Amino acid sequence: KNQVEQSPQSLIILEGKNCTLQCNYTVSPFSNLRWYKQDTGRGPVSLTIMTFSENTKSNGRYTATLDADTKQSSLHITASQLSDSASYICVVSGGGADGLTFGKGTHLIIQP
Amino acid sequence: SAVISQKPSRDICQRGTSLTIQCQVDSQVTMMFWYRQQPGQSLTLIATANQGSEATYESGFVIDKFPISRPNLTFSTLTVSNMSPEDSSIYLCSATGANSYEQYFGPGTRLTVT
């Protein structure tokens, strides 16, 4: 069964600190892995998309890594800001009519 | 990129009534989808909206409960019929562009059924 597991479920850090979110998946076949940011009351917005051959990809203060061998990904946020408070969803392309398997997300709270 | 809008953004409805949610994309897209997101849960695919034909529903979702229309490439509606409190959720419209790697989401419709 295709699954995407994210950890931690929730995280609270102080503004300016760094943090890393984890994503493990068992999706086959694998096409790509995406990280989305979902602000409260809004739809998910894409941060990064990585294919099998990509190990790391950055988008500003967000850096995603992918290890296709161990089927793990991480999202590192540098110098966190209050606006980073959101849910971060890991999505793996593979299986399903839409080809996507969604994680439950990590709820990140940045405190001043 | 594509910008997706949804109406209404939120609604509170009585048990037994129906609500139609509209989804408009600002550019032509290939695929359109409807998702449900319950509190603390991941997104669950309800159906693929097919232009000019019946939607393709996922297991656990049926046309009588969630009728869907897609009269053209940029517009779709989802109706939640005969609502019960269990239907309280966020409903999201999504679309893929010409490059199917990119998938865009609408802002969601927050539905509360009392």
Q: What is the pLDDT of residues A19-32, one digit of tens each?
A: 999 999 998 888 89
Query: Which residue in chain A is spatially nearest to B56 when comparing CA positions?
Result: A97
Task: For residue A88, give Cα distances in angstroms to A11, A13, A62, B49, B74.
Answer: 11, 15, 11, 26, 27
Q: Are A104 and B40 in contact (CB under 8 A)?
A: yes
**Quick check: B94 and A41 CB within 8 A?**
no
**Quick check: A49 and B105 CB within 8 A?**
no
**Quick check: B101 and A98 CB within 8 A?**
no
Q: Which residue has the higher pLDDT, B49 or B102?
A: B49
Query: Residue A71's closest CA among A8, A23, A2?
Result: A23
Looking at the complex, does the CB of residue A32 fall below 8 Å from at least one CB of chain B?
yes
CA angle B19, B22, B23 (to 5 degrees): 145
CA angle A76, B103, A33 (to 5 degrees): 40
Distance CA(B33)–CA(B48), nearest Å, equals 5
Q: How far is A86 from chain B (nearest CA, A)?
A: 13
Burial class (CB in 10 A: 0-12, 13-18, 19+), A110: buried
Burial class (CB in 10 A: 0-12, 13-18, 19+), B16: exposed
Q: Convert the pLDDT of each residue in B26-54 to its tens digit.
A: 988 888 999 999 987 889 999 999 888 89
Distance CA(A55)–CA(A36), nearest Å, equals 17
For residue A32, which residues of chain B lie inside 8 Å, CB to CB? Answer: 101
Q: Over range A37-48, report the average pLDDT.
A: 91
Distance CA(B8)–CA(B107), nearest Å, equals 10
pLDDT at A97: 61
Query: Residue B11's closest CA among B85, B106, B110, B86?
Result: B110
Q: Which are the contacts of A4, defined by CB distance < 8 A and separation ≥ 6? A: A23, A24, A25, A27, A90, A91, A92, A101, A102, A103, B42
Chosen for mutation from A39, A51, A98, A100 (greatest number of chain B CBs closer than 10 Å) is: A98
Amino acid identity for residue B65 in this structure: K
pLDDT at A84: 97
Q: Convert the pLDDT of each residue in A61-108 to its tens digit.
A: 999 999 999 999 999 999 999 999 999 999 998 755 678 889 999 999
